């Protein structure tokens, strides 16, 4: 009997797959059988080597995801070249840190453009194609525990992750009846480039770790299983969910 978590024959488009959470998701999807298009502006060599090492198949697509038009063009070109995508993972994200009274317009715009604007218009391109072809599709957005909290010194990041929840729910309401699943994962404190500043601050890092019931920072691979679930047939009746994967952070 075929597992409902089996992604064999599926094609996935994963943004920000060069490192961190995106890398963990790309590898997990490939291990579940999907062919993975690794997308971002940096080399995907490390991610693709991990995928190849587990017998998976991947491709690399270099694009600056801050440029929405270029991102959508890359998605459409990849779909035209190898066939339509069944899975979209909107993972790419950046962060800027400053007190609200010092926060600049450029730091606001840069984060919103990558984290929210590009994610929405990639979703539009993906959903439009799936609906036009009468195909099932699954979108997995990467939210954050700051989707539910305010955070400190990360105004545009917090706004973008609150916005990701809204977009996830809106698209789920519009597309659930059209056989397109739209859900999100809210990672907790994961060892990535975006959390390097927090982990370098001994007091802040200790305070964060002290609140996590699991007793450790998360690893990118911890997010992979949740992404496989939400992308798979096991989640066909899951729409508009935001799944925390946070070691219990929000439970405390």
Residues forming the active site: 157
What is the sign of the dihedral through the CA atoms of 209, 210, 216 and 219?
negative
Q: What is the DSSP string of 34-74?
A: -EEEEEESS--HHHHHHHHHTT-EEEEEE--TT-HHHHHHH
CA-based angle 172:174:176, to the nearest 5? 55
Q: Which of 192, 168, 189, 197 is nearest to 180 (CA)?
A: 168
Cβ-contact 186, 243 below 8 angstroms:
yes
Task: Give φ, ψ of 199 to 5 degrees.
Answer: -70, -25
What is the spatial distance between Cα 14 and Cα 56, in angstroms, rounded to a whole number?
Answer: 15
Contact 217, 199 (CB under 8 A): yes
Taken in order 125, 144, 4, 13, the sign of the CA dihedral is positive
- The answer for residues whose C-beta is within 8 angstroms of residue 233's C-beta and 6 or more apart is 4, 5
Q: At a CB cut-off of 8 Å and minimum separation 6, what does 128 contact?
A: none
Rounded Cα gap, residues 165 and 120, in angstroms: 11
């Amino acid at each position: 009997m075929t597992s409902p978590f089996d992604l064999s024959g599926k094609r996935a488009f994963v943004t920000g797959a060069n490192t961190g959470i995106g890398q963990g998701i790309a590898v997990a999807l490939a291990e579940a059988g999907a062919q993975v298009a690794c997308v971002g502006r940096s080399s995907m060599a490390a991610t693709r080597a991990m995928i190849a090492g587990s017998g998976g198949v991947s491709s690399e697509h270099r694009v600056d995801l801050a440029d929405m038009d270029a991102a959508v063009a890359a998605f459409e070109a990849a779909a035209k070249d190898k066939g339509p995508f069944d899975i979209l993972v909107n993972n790419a994200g950046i962060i800027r840190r400053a007190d609200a009274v010092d926060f600049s317009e450029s730091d606001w715009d840069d984060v919103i453009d990558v984290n929210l604007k590009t994610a929405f218009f990639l979703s539009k391109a993906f959903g439009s194609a799936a609906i036009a072809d009468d195909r099932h599709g699954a979108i997995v957005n990467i939210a954050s525990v700051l989707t539910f909290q305010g955070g400190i010194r990360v105004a545009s990041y917090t706004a973008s992750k609150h916005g990701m929840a809204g977009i996830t729910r809106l698209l789920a309401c519009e597309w659930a009846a059209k056989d397109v699943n739209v859900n999100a994962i809210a990672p907790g404190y994961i060892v990535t480039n975006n959390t390097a500043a927090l982990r370098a601050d001994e007091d802040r890092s200790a305070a964060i770790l002290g609140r996590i019931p699991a007793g450790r920072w998360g690893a990118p691979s911890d997010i992979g299983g949740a992404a496989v679930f939400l992308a798979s047939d096991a989640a066909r009746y899951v729409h508009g969910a935001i799944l925390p994967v946070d070691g219990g952070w929000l439970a405390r």
